[in-house]
A and B are shown apart, each in its own frame.
Chain A
Amino acid sequence: MMQFTYLMHDKRLCYSQANRLRPLPENVQARYDCDRLVSFRCLPGRRKPDHTVKKLHAAMRPLGIYNGNSICFYGVQSDSPLAPLLLWDAVHFMEIGQKIALVEDTPMPSYLDREYFSRGLKRVHGEDNVAVYEKFATLPAEGDDDLDHWTFGIPVGPEDATVLNAVVKRILELDIPHKEILLCGRPGENFAYFDQVRIVGEDIPAPPVQICKKKNRLAEEAKYNNLVILHDRVFLPRHFGEMVRRFGPRYPLVSMQSLYFDNRLCMHPRRYSDFGIKFGELSHGLTGLHRHSGKASSIAPAMFSELEHVGFGFANPMRYHLDSSYVTGSMCISRKEVWNMFPQDEALLWIEFEDIEHSLRASEGGVPCRVNPHGISQTITSRPLLNGAVPVENINGKITQREPKYLSFFAKKPLFKISQEIAWRKLRKFSEKYISKPLDLLIPVGEREISPIAWISLLNLLVQQASFPNTSSAVKEFINDYEKMLIFDQIPYGTKEAILGSFQENHLGAKRDLIFRNAVLLQNMLYQRPLRSWFCMDIHDYFHSCAYSWPGILFSAAKLCIKNGDFFYFKSIFSAIRCIYNSTPFESYLRKSQ
Chain B
Amino acid sequence: VNIYIVAQVLGRAATPDLTKFLSRIEVAASMTIPVIAVDQLYNLPQLAQKSNCLIAGHDIAKFSLDDFRDPRQQASLDRFTVDINLLAHQLDNATSSWIVIDFEQHLKMNILDFIRKLGDYIFISKNIEHKNIVLLAQDHHVPYFSRCVNQSVNNLSISPLEVKASGQVMEYLSLRIGFGMRVLPRFIVGPLLLIWRLLARAAPSLQRTDKDTNITDLKRPRSSSV
The answer to whether A and B assemble together is yes
Given A287-B36, A501-B226, CB of A295 within 8 Å of CB of B44: no
User: Which residues 153-207 of B sit at the A interface, judged by CB distance below 8 A?
Assistant: 154, 156-162, 164
A292 proximal to B (CB < 8 A): yes
Closest to B159 in A: A280
Q: Are A289 and B158 in contact (CB under 8 A)?
A: no
Q: Are A303 and B143 in contact (CB under 8 A)?
A: yes
Q: Are B26 and A295 in contact (CB under 8 A)?
A: yes
Q: Are B42 and A289 in contact (CB under 8 A)?
A: yes
Among A285, A295, A472, A498, the residue within 8 A (CB) of B226 is: A498
B66 proximal to A (CB < 8 A): no
A461 proximal to B (CB < 8 A): no
In angstroms, Cα B161 to Cα A500, docked, is 28
Q: Are B36 and A288 in contact (CB under 8 A)?
A: yes
Contact with A along B132-147 (1 / 0, CB 8 A): 0000001111111011
Contact with B along A258-287 (1 / 0, CB 8 A): 000000000000000000000111011111
Given A296-B34, A497-B144, CB of A280 within 8 Å of CB of B162: yes
Q: Are A305 and B161 in contact (CB under 8 A)?
A: no
Q: Are B156 and A281 in contact (CB under 8 A)?
A: yes
Q: Are B142 and A399 in contact (CB under 8 A)?
A: no
Q: Which residues of A contact B156 (CB under 8 A)?
A: 281, 284-285
In angstroms, Cα B162 to Cα A179, docked, is 46
B27 proximal to A (CB < 8 A): yes
In angstroms, Cα B156 to Cα A285, docked, is 8
Q: Are A296 and B36 in contact (CB under 8 A)?
A: yes
Contact with A along B28-40 (1 / 0, CB 8 A): 1011101111111
Q: Which residues of B contact A296 (CB under 8 A)?
A: 25-28, 34, 36
CB distance from A579 to the nearest CB of B (A): 30
Q: Are A306 and B147 in contact (CB under 8 A)?
A: yes
In angstroms, Cα B24 to Cα A341, docked, is 27
A302 proximal to B (CB < 8 A): yes
In angstroms, Cα B140 to Cα A494, docked, is 10
Q: Are B157 and A302 in contact (CB under 8 A)?
A: no
Q: Are B43 and A292 in contact (CB under 8 A)?
A: yes
Q: Which residues of B contact A472 (CB under 8 A)?
A: 139-140
CB distance from B139 to the nearest CB of A (A): 6
Q: Are A302 and B38 in contact (CB under 8 A)?
A: yes
B93 proximal to A (CB < 8 A): no
B77 proximal to A (CB < 8 A): no
CB distance from B130 to the nearest CB of A (A): 18
Consensus secondary structure, chain A interface: mixed
Q: Are A289 and B146 in contact (CB under 8 A)?
A: no
Which bracket fits the contact residues of B?
Answer: 35 or more
B19 proximal to A (CB < 8 A): no
Q: Are B146 and A306 in contact (CB under 8 A)?
A: yes
Q: Are B26 and A302 in contact (CB under 8 A)?
A: no
CB distance from B23 to the nearest CB of A (A): 11
Q: Are B37 and A303 in contact (CB under 8 A)?
A: yes
CB distance from A319 to the nearest CB of B (A): 13
Q: Which residues of B contact A295 (CB under 8 A)?
A: 25-28
Q: Are B24 and A288 in contact (CB under 8 A)?
A: no
Q: Give the size of the chain A interface in residues (CB under 8 angstroms).
A: 37
Given A281-B159, A287-B35, A289-B37, CB of A497 within 8 Å of CB of B143: yes
Closest to A495 in B: B225
Q: Are B25 and A294 in contact (CB under 8 A)?
A: yes
Q: Are B140 and A497 in contact (CB under 8 A)?
A: yes
A301 proximal to B (CB < 8 A): yes
B14 proximal to A (CB < 8 A): no
In angstroms, Cα B22 to Cα A295, docked, is 10
Q: Which residues of B contact A293 (CB under 8 A)?
A: 26
In angstroms, Cα B157 to Cα A288, docked, is 19
CB distance from A440 to the nearest CB of B (A): 32
Q: Which residues of A contact B31 (CB under 8 A)?
A: 285
Contact with B along A465-509 (1 / 0, CB 8 A): 000000010001000000000000000001001101100100000
In angstroms, Cα B39 to Cα A290, docked, is 10
A391 proximal to B (CB < 8 A): yes
Closest to B156 in A: A284
In angstroms, Cα B8 to Cα A563, docked, is 54
A444 proximal to B (CB < 8 A): no
Q: Which residues of B contact A304 (CB under 8 A)?
A: 143
Chain B CB within 10 A, most for which of A289, A391, A501:
A289
In angstroms, Cα B39 to Cα A301, docked, is 8
In angstroms, Cα B38 to Cα A288, docked, is 6
In angstroms, Cα B164 to Cα A142, docked, is 42
Q: Which residues of A contact B143 (CB under 8 A)?
A: 302-306, 497
Q: Which residues of B contact A42 (CB under 8 A)?
A: none
Given A306-B147, A501-B226, CB of A286 within 8 Å of CB of B161: no
Closest to B35 in A: A286
Q: Are B142 and A302 in contact (CB under 8 A)?
A: yes
Q: Which residues of B contact A476 (CB under 8 A)?
A: 140
Q: Are A287 and B144 in contact (CB under 8 A)?
A: no
In angstroms, Cα B138 to Cα A293, docked, is 24
Among A284, A399, A498, the residue within 8 A (CB) of B161 is: A399
A311 proximal to B (CB < 8 A): yes
Q: Which residues of A contact B150 (CB under 8 A)?
A: 283-286
A181 proximal to B (CB < 8 A): no
A445 proximal to B (CB < 8 A): no
In angstroms, Cα B158 to Cα A293, docked, is 29
Among A280, A500, A501, the residue within 8 A (CB) of B158 is: A280
Q: Which residues of B contact A279 (CB under 8 A)?
A: 159-161
Closest to B9 in A: A472
CB distance from B165 to the nearest CB of A (A): 10
Q: Which residues of A contact B24 (CB under 8 A)?
A: 294
Contact with B along A300-338 (1 / 0, CB 8 A): 111111100111000000000000000000000000000
A178 proximal to B (CB < 8 A): no
CB distance from A144 to the nearest CB of B (A): 36
In angstroms, Cα B69 to Cα A132, docked, is 61
Q: Are A498 and B225 in contact (CB under 8 A)?
A: yes
Closest to B31 in A: A285
Q: Are B39 and A289 in contact (CB under 8 A)?
A: yes
Q: Which residues of A contact B28 (CB under 8 A)?
A: 287, 295-296
CB distance from B145 to the nearest CB of A (A): 11
In angstroms, Cα B24 to Cα A235, docked, is 46
CB distance from A513 to the nearest CB of B (A): 15
User: Which residues 15-63 of B sit at the A interface, judged by CB distance below 8 A?
Assistant: 24-28, 30-32, 34-44, 47
26 contacts between A and B (CB under 8 A): A280-B158, A280-B160, A285-B31, A286-B35, A286-B146, A288-B36, A288-B39, A290-B42, A292-B42, A292-B43, A294-B26, A294-B43, A294-B44, A296-B34, A301-B40, A302-B146, A303-B37, A303-B146, A306-B146, A311-B161, A399-B160, A399-B164, A472-B140, A497-B144, A497-B226, A501-B226
A-B CB proximity, top 7 nearest: A280-B159, A302-B37, A302-B39, A501-B226, A288-B37, A284-B156, A295-B26
A292-B42, A501-B140 are known contacts; what are 16 more A-B pairs with Cβ within 8 Å? A284-B147, A284-B156, A286-B37, A287-B36, A288-B37, A293-B26, A294-B26, A295-B26, A296-B26, A296-B28, A296-B36, A304-B143, A311-B159, A399-B164, A497-B143, A497-B226
